[in-house]
Amino acid sequence: MPHPVKDVRVLSRITTEAFNQRRKTIRNSLGNLFSVEVLTGMGIDPAMRAENISVAQYCQMANYLAENAPLQES
């Protein structure tokens, strides 16, 4: 697998939220999940739009959340 993720549900949530508001920047669409500092620390420009983020970067974000803020079971 070229871009392994620890929890596919987290990746699904991130991509859904990122693309749900098409013309918003990642800072705005994912601001409830990531601070600007965390995004910058991962090498992701918070001013980028969802369509400009690579698959590897989405996987990196998903792995960060899986380790630091796991999804709650409902």
pLDDT of the residue at 20? 92
Structure tokens at 33: 């999940």
The domains of the chain, with CATH numbers, are: 8-68 (1.10.8.100)
Give the model confidence (pLDDT) of 9-41 as tens digits.
999 999 999 999 878 999 999 999 999 999 999
Give the model confidence (pLDDT) of 57-67 as tens digits.
999 999 999 99
- Helix residue spans in 1-74 (DSSP H): 8-20, 26-29, 36-41, 55-68
Residue among 10, 29, 33, 34 nearest 18 (CA): 29
Report whether pLDDT(74) > 70. Answer: no
